[in-house]
Amino acid sequence: MTPATANPSSIWTMRETMIVAVLGAVFGVLYLGWVQVWLIAQAVFGSVTMDVVMGFWFIVSIIAAAIIRKPGVALASEVLSAAVQILLGSPAGLLLLVTGLVQGAGAEAVFAATRWRSYRLPVLMAAGVGAAVFSFAYTWIRFDYGALAPTLLVVMFVLRCASGALLGGLLGHLIVQALYRTGVLSGLAIDHDRRAAAA
């Protein structure tokens, strides 16, 4: 079990900044690829597919935050991923920056509620749900969800929150664990916390 982080500094080191930038770039590319997965699934299963797969678009905020464990990491990583998608020619254009800001803010709000001190699996899954809730509010306004049937809205909301918890939080946790086992996260906040807990 990952322990609570004690008094996290708000100052990022150069290494931490580079890691957030690299994660933002890598997941910006993966996010663009995930669009194709969504389009194929939508053609087969229908419109609610977006809510089923949406959680993957929150995952970089959770991975970056779980590794660096400092304020602003979740938000910055999502915005950077959005910027990379724009640079790579995403048809969504500059609106992606708003999307990244909203999704990152949803995850960041959950970490802020713990004062950036807890990165246990339940918190990471809650961060995925936080991103889902914020994104649902944003897409409600953008796509006029108020015109949809109440039952459909409930189904969409539940599916998006579940996707955020599983494809964002749980999958993000598993990826972080896999990375940690390779030793590439040595010396970072996650490593310090693990060593302190084992001492």
Here the CATH number for the domain that contains residue 114 is 1.10.1760
Residue 118 lies in a domain: yes
pLDDT reported for residue 8: 57
Residue 138 lies in a domain: yes
For residues 12 and 16, give the distance between their C-alpha atoms in angstroms, rounded to a whole number. Answer: 6
pLDDT in tens, 108-119: 999 999 999 999
For residues 104 and 57, give the distance between their C-alpha atoms in angstroms, rounded to a whole number. Answer: 10
Residue 5 lies in a domain: no
For residues 49 and 41, give the distance between their C-alpha atoms in angstroms, rounded to a whole number. Answer: 6
Residue 88 lies in a domain: yes
Residue 6 lies in a domain: no
Residue type, 140: W
pLDDT reported for residue 1: 42
pLDDT in tens, 1-55: 445 555 557 899 999 999 999 999 999 999 999 999 999 988 887 878 999 999 9
pLDDT in tens, 138-185: 999 999 999 999 999 999 999 999 999 999 999 999 999 999 999 999
Query: What pTM, to 2 d.p., does this model score?
Result: 0.94
Residue 1 lies in a domain: no
Domain span including residue 35: 14-198
Q: How many domains does the chain have?
A: 1
- Mean pLDDT, the chain, rounded, equals 94
